[in-house]
Structure 1
Amino acid sequence: MQFKNRPNECVTTTDGREVWLSRSVATAVCILLECEGRPYILVNQRGPGMPDFAGYWNLPCGYLDYDETTAEAAMREVWEECGVNTLELLAQATCEFFSAPWDVNSTPRGARQNVTIHHGLFARVAQLPPVSNANNEPDETTDIRWLPLSDVETLTFAFNHHERIADFLAHVEKLAGISYR
């Protein structure tokens, strides 16, 4: 048998530890809320402190830390990047994808070798939760908003997140019978 993989590389740090360079696991989160009959998706704009796609929009996303599940990482990223408490929204969710993700993408794409686990939820709320960048890394986000779904095509998204939003809407429609497409 022949495989097309490239073996992971072992690097020795200056303090003598061996670290394996391998593909990273990331999480991306779709939070879809209906407020007063109108659907909104949580998005943020990448700040100047980000290594790539500064100025582009994305869903809350990031890498797993040690000792956390993908669902915990998803909740942490939403809190850090947008200041939104996902636990409060989970209590109101019509459908949620934290107990099981709605998608796993493991296709390598050039330099971006992430395995991405997609979590999310849909809920109807009386008011949209406030957003905040108070928990951000320096210059991580420049704007955070509850974007009306009708405006998704007006923004330029990093990481094909506009396609991820469309895919998420299809999952919500399938699971909850609610269509916003």
Structure 2
Amino acid sequence: MSTPENRRTYTSEHPPFAVTVDLAVFTIRDGALAVLLVERGAEPFAGSWALPGGFVEPDEDAETAAWRELREETGVDRFEGHLEQLRTYSAPDRDPRMRVVSVAHVAFAPDLPEPSAGSDAAGARWWAVDDVLPHPDQAAPDAPVLAFDHAEILTDARERIRAKLEYTTLALDFVAEPFTLPELRRVYTAVWGTPPDLGNFRRKVLGTDGFVVATDDPRPGSPGGAGGRPALLYRRGTATEVQPPMLRPTTG
């Protein structure tokens, strides 16, 4: 049985630590996958770019704190879209102030607004993910050095979103109805960083029951294929999962 004395002994042997939240918020802007970053206005890492986030208050759960920090640091309020916990980051030296464990979240939603800096952030803006996490073989002297372990979190979050598009119909949130298959394919290209094979893409989208529904109404003036026919228009179906998954093209 736990007693006050036992609890005092336990806490003295295990110093307290803080819990924070970090958010990797993605959207598609100008045809590219983009992430929301803030410029830190206070130490540690003042002047560096980072994922929005902060400390969990005693009366909050992690998701409540994530939404609050997003609003306070960027002015972006709660939005409709995909949000989930990514993982917990707990390296002992990840924060120079004290032992801090972060519960990271990843979000992906269309049409997110321009951010405005608030709280302890000196700035906030959307960055093309490829400008923040350039390919290892490409020189990127202008890439920002992210604070804390946020480069690791961002890398993991991008992989989570890329995987989501393999086995869900989440990409449909990023096309306005009615849409063409080339428009939908451009969503996958933006997120994956490389276009899906055209033949495989068409077979998967059209062959998965409930993925898309043809409107039987071609878009006026839209370019066709080799036969010059107008592109067909589609609407979202009822499916939410893609099984077997639509696998990303292998690179390198």
Tell me which interval the TM-score lies in, with the shorter structure as reference length: 0.7 to 0.9
Secondary structure of 1:74's match?
helix
Q: CA deviation at 1:32?
A: 0.4
Structure 2 CA distance, aligned partners of 1:173 and 1:149?
12
SS of residue matched to 2:17: coil
Secondary structure of the 2:192 match is coil
Q: Percent identity?
A: 27
Q: CA separation in 2, counterparts of 1:25 and 1:43?
A: 20
Structure 2 unpaired stretches of 5+: 1-9, 134-142, 167-190, 195-252
Secondary structure in structure 1 of the residue aligned to 2:110: strand
* Shift in Å, 1:8: 4.1
Q: In structure 2, which of residues 83, 101, 108 is the aligned counterpart of residue 96 of structure 1?
A: 83
Alignment partner of 1:146 is 2:126: yes
More strand by share: 1
Residue 192 (structure 2) pairs with residue 179 (structure 1): yes
Give secondary structure in 1 for the equivalent of 2:109: strand
Q: Is the 8 A contact 1:26 1:63 kept in 2?
A: yes
Indicate the structure whose relative CO is greater, using CA pairs within 8 Å and at least 6 residues apart: 1
Q: How does 1:1-181 map to 2 (within 5 A)?
A: 8-9=11-12, 22-47=16-41, 50-85=42-77, 87-88=78-79, 91=80, 93=81, 95-97=82-84, 101-109=85-93, 111=96, 112-125=98-111, 128-133=112-117, 135-136=118-119, 140-153=120-133, 154-177=143-166, 178-180=191-193
Residue 123 of structure 1 and its aligned partner are, at CA, apart by: 1.8
Offset at 1:21?
A: 5.5
3-state SS of the aligned residue for 2:65? helix
| Unmatched runs of 5 consecutive residues or more in structure 1 | 1-6, 11-19
The runs of at least 4 consecutive aligned structure 1 residues that moved more than 6 Å come to: none
The 3 A distance-change label for structure 1 pair 9 and 57 is farther
Secondary structure at the aligned position of 1:39 is classed as strand
TM-score (normalised: structure 2): 0.54
